[in-house]
Structure 1
Amino acid sequence: MSALQRKLMRDLIRLWPQALAIALVMAAGAATLILGVGAHASLSDTRSAYYERNRFADVFATLTRAPKILADEIGRIPGVSAVDVRIQKTALLDLPDMVEPASASIVSLPDVQPQRLNILYLRSGRLPVAGDEREAVISEPFAKAHGFDLGSTFQAILNGRKRSLHVVGIALSPEFIYALGPWDIMPDDRRFGIVWMSEKTLAAAYDLTGAFSSVALKLLPYASEGAVIEQLDTLLNRYGGLGAIGRKDQTSHAFLDAELKQLEAMSRILPPIFLVVAAFLVNMTLTRLITLEREQIGLLKAVGYGNMAVGLHYLQFVSAIAVIGAAIGIAAGIWLGGGLTRMYSDFFHFPFLVFRIDPATYLLAVGTTVISAVLGAWQAVRGVVRLPPAVAMTPPAPTQYRQFLVTLYRALGRISQTVTMVVRHLSHGWIRTASSVLGIALAGAILVGSLWSFDSVDFMIDVTFHQADRQDATVSFTQEEPYAALYEVARLPGVLRAEPYRSVAVKLRHGHVERRAAVTGKPPGTDLSRVLDQHFTPVRLPESGIVLSDMLARILDTQVGDLIEVELLEKNRRVVEIPVTAIIQGYLGLMSFMDIDALNRLVREGTVISGVHMIFDEEQRVPLLQELKQIPAASFVALQRISLQKFRETLAQNILVMITVYVSLAVIIVFGVIYNFARISLSEQGREIASLRVLGFTRTEASSILLAEIFLIVALAQPLGWLIGSGLAYMMVKGFESELYRVPLVLEPRVFAESSLIVMGAALVAALIVRRRIDRLDLVEVLKTRE
């Protein structure tokens, strides 16, 4: 081991507390990089492998009824490699362990040949026997939620007829990785599941013998998805086709894409913050270390060590810290990644989900950490290289403070000598002071950029569940029913008020942009499920015209007064131009609304409805739910309070985990910045503090100089942290935004107060640790040394 290598080891051992503090900040950056990039790659690779092995389809379409012979014609569409026609319906379930009704998507399985697309991954059991009316395969999450196993039974209402189903298999499907029921905003495995049955059984139940109601296509690699969808729609129009969609619009895949987008945003926003702070800390520490070792540097150069060797020595010092930090960060990233993987398993139902990181990700984490450390040290190392030996061996000139600053401070009023010393020292090392303020501000910014989510989610819940959709339950019918169905529902036990709605699948087009959506018709003066404008005031739907949510209007690039094309995807399939009469606020999906009578006139139908919103007497809840289970025309019953409870539970769990991680990382930054700042200040002012002790100052009075410096830079960092944090929160909102959902940006004063309290608490802990070191100063030894 060479002399410089031995010196490197001694420096690391001597300065281990400061080196560890810097390494922890670097570790936080590496951990977030590993977590974000690794989780994104893991989830993306797992999805790709699952899709490929189980042949997930590329195009999906639903229709009323078409002969199976049409599948051959669909298969001849250029670019189509495989066609899977099937029957798919939504049905109510009567489960023994639930008072409220549940629902399921009922999907047929081919009886003669194996599945071509969306192949089931059987966890246990087998597929149903062809034509057996009782046998069914159920989705694994649904089975777990109810404790179902092979041999369990439950009842389902298929086309108005209640049947007892026997579980013969438990499976997963690439089509239902994220199984979301109608009117739900979060998966609820207790109330919504997937049931696969024999094609013959479902064909007989729904009068679809020799026919199908759903089709899935697999495309060739070179195929144009848009061209295939256009030709498929042309074929299915006469059979009640509701418009084909590509993968990006399929519910399960779309939610997975949204999650991947969030992970990508996290991996881009957070790691640079930690690496910038680490660069500041390295610069602060190394600059001070070089100042203390001027004479040693001069001696090294005098005995023959070149500029390159001395500069490389200090770069090796910071690189060693960076490698230690990267190692800690990789270990922490893998541990956090395992926890994130377990969290994903509660949402996305894969047959396998392994947190696996490509070696390139590890190299990226180590490389970026080392590069940030070297960049932070570069200026200090340049000073070492340029320092002549004779100058280096000469003690540095005494510090010259700016006298005009002291004069200005005293002119403002009577200021104590302690405050004068603090201000002079901070203003003299203004670069280090500014770096410390920025580092602490970035820690506060991370807190503001994460704590805002609590208020934003509460605000979104209030708008969605308490101001807009205020009903207790929503009953959706399997098909349009006469208006008299509203009065039938209103007569059920406990129903206090009922309002109808109509939903029609359409394509909305403005210029060259189009989106597939559902227009919801509501009666005038609706009070249960209300439409709110951008000021959250209820909107009365006009007798003509259409109302769009802000996201949909933005996508279509339309404003109030513009004409948009509305292409009906059912019934007479008309294409009409309708004026946009209002832009409303909406956080979930792409929403559009019309007056229910105007919508029925548009479809050229009588007064029909798609479902009913209601409020009911809680004391009559059980008999009402029992009655709802018996409604033959119902396909789904959404219960608002249960949906809200599930939404809160899911978000509370996820947000709590992520906030805990962010707070921990912010505390690491604050501790690292404050501890390094305080240690450097102590090394510079050790003689002054010891002199004050000798002159009779108490430990508290002597240490108050250093503590006052810490308090001042923490105070200066708060407004800057609030400002940067607000920008960070805005970036996260934009990064998470998708057509599926948007999160409002709500920044209450409480968020800034809580972030500041956490920062101050971490700073206090670091200050107290340094205070103990001040209390243990050997006064004689300190006064004998120059530094």
Structure 2
Amino acid sequence: MMSPLDRKLLRDLWRMKGQAIAIASVIATGVMLLVMMSGVVTSLSETRRAYYERNRLAHVFAPVKRAPLHVIRDLADLPGVTAAEGRVTGSALISLPSLELPLRATAVSLPDLGEPRLNAIHLTDGRQISHDKPDEIILLNSFARAHNLTPGDALSATMNGAKRTFRIVGLAQSPEYLYSVAPGEMISDDSRFGVIWMSQTALSAAYDMQGAFNEALLSLGPRTSLQEILDRVDMVLDPYGGLGAYGLKDQTSNRFISEEIVGMEGSSRVVPPIFLAVAAFLLNIVISRMVQSEREQIGLIKAFGYTNWEVGLHYFKFVLVIAIGGAVAGCLSGIALGRGMMSLYLTYYKFPILVFELDPASFVTAFLISILAASAGGLFVLRSVFALTPAVAMRPPAPDDYSRTGRFGALFESLLDQPSRMVLRRITRQPGRMLGALVGIACGMALSVSMISLLAGFDKTMNLTFSVMDRSDVTVTFTHALGQKAVHELQSLPGVLQVEPERSVSALLRNGLRSYRGSIEGLTDAPHLKRAIAKDLSPIALGDQGIVLSKALAKTLDITPGEMLTVEILEGRRPILKIPVANFAESLLGSPAYMRIDALNKVLKEPLRISTAYLRIDSNQADQIFKALKDRPNVAGVSLKSDARAALQKMMNTGAGSMRFVMVAIAAIITFGIVYNAARIAYAERLRDLASLRVMGFTRSEAAFVLLGELAVITLAALPLGSLMGYYLNYSIAEGFSTDLYQIPTIFSPASYGTAALAVLIAAFLSGWLVKRDIDRADLVSALKIRE
């Protein structure tokens, strides 16, 4: 049988259903994000682990110029190595009849007989290649789908300067290419990069690698020191032109997905607590007002024999019902949102299947945090319940002391009408309550500012990357470092307006115990097409000595200008250099390091060498330029900046980056909930006053003005405070979304603040309209029977 207090609880929940739903929605939002983000992290991590194990992805990758096959036995004999295999890899250019632009590809060998011991592929269509048919290939599934290629189709590709025609016999996926991106690029685009698998014999013949390999794969046993193995592998391969072994954490595809997981983990630690803190604040206000308005009821309940604990538990149940209801709704919506995110992730991470896996710990955590946050909002108020004795509670509260407020409103009596003076007196005589409502609305404003600024930050990433830092039209990548003659040949092509060379070398950058495996980009003295820029967007002059690091890389290495950086070059003679850090550069994609090209070539003892060229071209002659580049044997790839920009925009809008739109929508909903809750609290407190005004002859509009004018003043006053809070909150949100591979800048965009302010004003208008509707429908007789 339900107790009287429980029946009162149900009546209170129904009477305050609007406020309860608004607060539960805030809690549900925080829980939803926590469950979704935890589930995404679990799903990506577990699916990746299982996929890697099933396809035996190597733990160590060791590129080398050319090593005989018998060296694989030496690598397999190293302590801790459980399996070793050599293979041939090389760059290729794919020619499609429908496209003038050649498409980049990587060619990878498969054993002539049987499956590879390491880095097995997952066949999705067709069959395996026959070792006695050198023209048979297996193509990366995502690239084939992008160009409507199927088993049985012919494909033309240039390998090592020779153009050949192949027959596609199968389509496949690989854990090595979960995130498929061309070497040296950052943006995945299925239509611009492919992978070709061929038999060991056929690919060795294409790249003059008969009896040799140019990449070793190693699998390690448990409790094996990775760094020790890498050092030993480098020693074994050094006589054959080893290019520096590296672990799985530095493998391109794995690195991208690892950064996505790390970024999602960071966001889950920053964003959900914000919503739960707002919910705790709102519950504090609601319970406080509720206890104050039910003083007489509390006294009567205690007079009938209920203890302090029973009465306190009754109000605490009110808090728990809202918290648990919000947590349940949040868990269910988090599951739905997480499943929707899986389809987006499958667009860019090529798992055979990706199922949203629930993290049981996230449910427990969500419920505990929700209850704790709600309890924090209500427990402090419940102390006043224990302090009330029946005799004191059943008496009306002592009138507020306004003697020290002076006649603040007297100055405005000649300027304001009576309803306006009532609004002003209410605000000045109850500053505590007004401050609570003001802070609540400011929190909504801050959320909107930070989320809209996040959108502006993504836009700034696009503009800086493709309009300020890179002002070229076409990027040409060479198979190996060439002399200056390559620049003159490009300049002689009809339609090429400007050529700017770059020398890029792989390097391991060290500062004490911190290290980063990346590359150094050598730029010209006064670059125009590819530039390192400062915070004020001005180009950074590269000196004769010194290296310029991106801010993200400097943060990773924990280094400041003037300090010496250890640079281990992973190409050619592989020198180890000590170079001073000259400056920091802005960079929003990747973590580049810059030097002057002649200074870089000098320390490498390879003068006048280039590996990349940036071109500005006449778009009317683009097809002729692409055709000429397609036939050059030393060209490893040609990419259009416009394609890269479109690919990044697509990834941000429809892939994992679309999460920012979800966050903006959530912020808008929460903002409305906060403003509406403030309006409902004010309405509940002043219902009797408003009814009295109506009886005294005030019209419905005049009575509503007394309440809504107060809401309008508080809302307008909350805008500057919310803007200030949003400015600092934006730093935390951007930090949570940023990774080593891409950074979201924190910017001050007047348009973002204006849009956020407009959202708050719209929320206030809708909340005011809903409350005014209740004022018009109010039963005056019932309202006047309410005792203070």
TM class, shorter-chain normalised? over 0.9
Unaligned runs of 5+ in 1: none
Counterpart of 1:516? Answer: 517
Instruction: State the shift of 1:449 in Å.
Output: 1.5
Q: Which stretch shows the higher mean deviation, 350-359 or 581-590?
A: 581-590
Rounded Cα–Cα distance in structure 2 between residues aligned with 1:546 and 1:211: 37
Residues 19 and 513 of structure 1: is their aligned pair in 2 closer, same or farther, counting only changes over 3 Å? closer
The answer on whether the counterparts of 2:451 and 2:667 sit within 8 Å (CA) in structure 1 is no
Residues 275 and 606 of structure 1: is their aligned pair in 2 closer, same or farther, counting only changes over 3 Å? closer
Q: Which stretch shows the higher mean deviation, 113-122 or 553-562?
A: 553-562
Instruction: State the shift of 1:107 in Å.
Output: 0.9
Tell me, yes or no, if structure 1 residue 713 matches structure 2 residue 707.
no
Counterpart of 1:368? Answer: 369
Counterpart of 1:572? Answer: 573
Note the 1:146-161 alignment, pairs <5 A.
146-161=147-162
Paired AA for residue 407 in structure 1: R
Paired AA for residue 618 in structure 1: S
Counterpart of 1:434? Answer: 435
Counterpart of 2:404? Answer: 404
The answer on whether the counterparts of 1:322 and 1:370 sit within 8 Å (CA) in structure 2 is yes
Note the 1:697-736 alignment, pairs <5 A.
697-736=698-737
Note the 1:39-78 alignment, pairs <5 A.
39-78=40-79
Rounded Cα–Cα distance in structure 2 between residues aligned with 1:561 and 1:657: 40
Q: Deviations over 1:201-256 (max 9, x none)?
A: 11111011111111222222211111111111122222222212222221111111
Rounded Cα–Cα distance in structure 2 between residues aligned with 1:664 and 1:566: 46
Residues 406 and 75 of structure 1: is their aligned pair in 2 closer, same or farther, counting only changes over 3 Å? farther
Secondary structure of the corresponding residue to residue 346 of structure 1: helix
Instruction: State the shift of 1:664 in Å.
Output: 3.0
Secondary structure of the corresponding residue to residue 611 of structure 1: strand
Residues 289 and 106 of structure 1: is their aligned pair in 2 closer, same or farther, counting only changes over 3 Å? same
The answer on whether the counterparts of 1:265 and 1:732 sit within 8 Å (CA) in structure 2 is no
Instruction: State the shift of 1:359 in Å.
Output: 2.6
Paired AA for residue 395 in structure 1: R
Paired AA for residue 65 in structure 1: R
Counterpart of 2:507? Answer: 506
Identical positions, percent? 40
Aligned-CA RMSD value? 2.3
Paired AA for residue 490 in structure 1: Q
Q: Deviations over 1:87-122 (max 9, x none)?
A: 111211102332321111111111234222222122
Counterpart of 1:84? Answer: 85
Counterpart of 2:264? Answer: 263
Residues 313 and 648 of structure 1: is their aligned pair in 2 closer, same or farther, counting only changes over 3 Å? same
Instruction: State the shift of 1:720 in Å.
Output: 2.3
Residues 522 and 708 of structure 1: is their aligned pair in 2 closer, same or farther, counting only changes over 3 Å? same
Secondary structure of the corresponding residue to residue 348 of structure 2: coil
Rounded Cα–Cα distance in structure 2 between residues aligned with 1:174 and 1:655: 19
Q: Which stretch shows the higher mean deviation, 113-122 or 26-35?
A: 113-122
Instruction: State the shift of 1:574 in Å.
Output: 2.6
Instruction: State the shift of 1:414 in Å.
Output: 5.0
Residues 131 and 450 of structure 1: is their aligned pair in 2 closer, same or farther, counting only changes over 3 Å? farther
The answer on whether the counterparts of 1:93 and 1:104 sit within 8 Å (CA) in structure 2 is yes
The answer on whether the counterparts of 1:401 and 1:424 sit within 8 Å (CA) in structure 2 is no
Secondary structure of the corresponding residue to residue 633 of structure 2: coil
Counterpart of 1:686? Answer: 687
Paired AA for residue 22 in structure 1: I
Secondary structure of the corresponding residue to residue 207 of structure 1: coil
Rounded Cα–Cα distance in structure 2 between residues aligned with 1:321 and 1:575: 62
Note the 1:325-336 alignment, pairs <5 A.
325-336=326-337
Paired AA for residue 397 in structure 1: P
Rounded Cα–Cα distance in structure 2 between residues aligned with 1:432 and 1:75: 74
Instruction: State the shift of 1:419 in Å.
Output: 4.1
Residues 680 and 616 of structure 1: is their aligned pair in 2 closer, same or farther, counting only changes over 3 Å? closer
Q: Which stretch shows the higher mean deviation, 36-45 or 286-295?
A: 286-295
The answer on whether the counterparts of 1:405 and 1:424 sit within 8 Å (CA) in structure 2 is no
Secondary structure of the corresponding residue to residue 212 of structure 1: strand
Note the 1:342-741 alignment, pairs <5 A.
342-392=343-393, 394-411=394-411, 416=416, 417-427=418-428, 429-653=430-654, 657-741=658-742
The answer on whether the counterparts of 1:566 and 1:575 sit within 8 Å (CA) in structure 2 is yes
Counterpart of 2:30? Answer: 29
The answer on whether the counterparts of 1:493 and 1:620 sit within 8 Å (CA) in structure 2 is yes
Rounded Cα–Cα distance in structure 1 between residues aligned with 2:785 and 2:612: 88
Residues 557 and 784 of structure 1: is their aligned pair in 2 closer, same or farther, counting only changes over 3 Å? closer
Secondary structure of the corresponding residue to residue 55 of structure 1: coil
Residues 78 and 746 of structure 1: is their aligned pair in 2 closer, same or farther, counting only changes over 3 Å? same
Residues 55 and 286 of structure 1: is their aligned pair in 2 closer, same or farther, counting only changes over 3 Å? same
Note the 1:99-138 alignment, pairs <5 A.
99-138=100-139
With normalisation by structure 1, the TM-score equals: 0.95
Rounded Cα–Cα distance in structure 1 between residues aligned with 2:731 and 2:763: 25
Counterpart of 2:303? Answer: 302
The answer on whether the counterparts of 1:126 and 1:168 sit within 8 Å (CA) in structure 2 is yes
Q: Which stretch shows the higher mean deviation, 287-296 or 138-147?
A: 287-296
The answer on whether the counterparts of 2:143 and 2:191 sit within 8 Å (CA) in structure 1 is yes
Instruction: State the shift of 1:200 in Å.
Output: 0.9
Instruction: State the shift of 1:513 in Å.
Output: 4.1
With normalisation by structure 2, the TM-score equals: 0.94
Secondary structure of the corresponding residue to residue 89 of structure 1: strand
Q: Which stretch shows the higher mean deviation, 200-209 or 336-345?
A: 336-345
Note the 1:744-763 alignment, pairs <5 A.
744-763=745-764
Instruction: State the shift of 1:609 in Å.
Output: 2.2
Residues 746 and 673 of structure 1: is their aligned pair in 2 closer, same or farther, counting only changes over 3 Å? closer
Rounded Cα–Cα distance in structure 2 between residues aligned with 1:761 and 1:655: 29
Paired AA for residue 271 in structure 1: P
Instruction: State the shift of 1:537 in Å.
Output: 2.3
Rounded Cα–Cα distance in structure 1 between residues aligned with 2:715 and 2:774: 20
Unaligned runs of 5+ in 2: none
Rounded Cα–Cα distance in structure 1 between residues aligned with 2:779 and 2:720: 39
The answer on whether the counterparts of 1:24 and 1:672 sit within 8 Å (CA) in structure 2 is yes
The answer on whether the counterparts of 1:436 and 1:673 sit within 8 Å (CA) in structure 2 is no
Paired AA for residue 399 in structure 1: P
The answer on whether the counterparts of 2:345 and 2:655 sit within 8 Å (CA) in structure 1 is no
Rounded Cα–Cα distance in structure 2 between residues aligned with 1:195 and 1:629: 18
Number of residue equivalences: 786
Rounded Cα–Cα distance in structure 2 between residues aligned with 1:349 and 1:368: 35
Note the 1:163-202 alignment, pairs <5 A.
163-202=164-203
Instruction: State the shift of 1:659 in Å.
Output: 4.2
Q: Deviations over 1:608-650 (max 9, x none)?
A: 3223221111111122222222222111112111111222232
Q: Deviations over 1:307-336 (max 9, x none)?
A: 222222222222122222222212221221
The answer on whether the counterparts of 2:454 and 2:734 sit within 8 Å (CA) in structure 1 is no
Counterpart of 1:252? Answer: 253
Rounded Cα–Cα distance in structure 2 between residues aligned with 1:152 and 1:731: 51
Q: Deviations over 1:6-45 (max 9, x none)?
A: 2222222232222222221221121111122222222222
Q: Deviations over 1:137-180 (max 9, x none)?
A: 12221121111222122111111111112222211111111111
Instruction: State the shift of 1:694 in Å.
Output: 2.5
Q: Which stretch shows the higher mean deviation, 660-669 or 171-180?
A: 660-669
Rounded Cα–Cα distance in structure 2 between residues aligned with 1:372 and 1:560: 44
The answer on whether the counterparts of 1:185 and 1:647 sit within 8 Å (CA) in structure 2 is no
Instruction: State the shift of 1:511 in Å.
Output: 4.3
Residues 14 and 345 of structure 1: is their aligned pair in 2 closer, same or farther, counting only changes over 3 Å? same
Q: Which stretch shows the higher mean deviation, 543-552 or 309-318?
A: 543-552
Residues 278 and 595 of structure 1: is their aligned pair in 2 closer, same or farther, counting only changes over 3 Å? closer
Counterpart of 2:216? Answer: 215
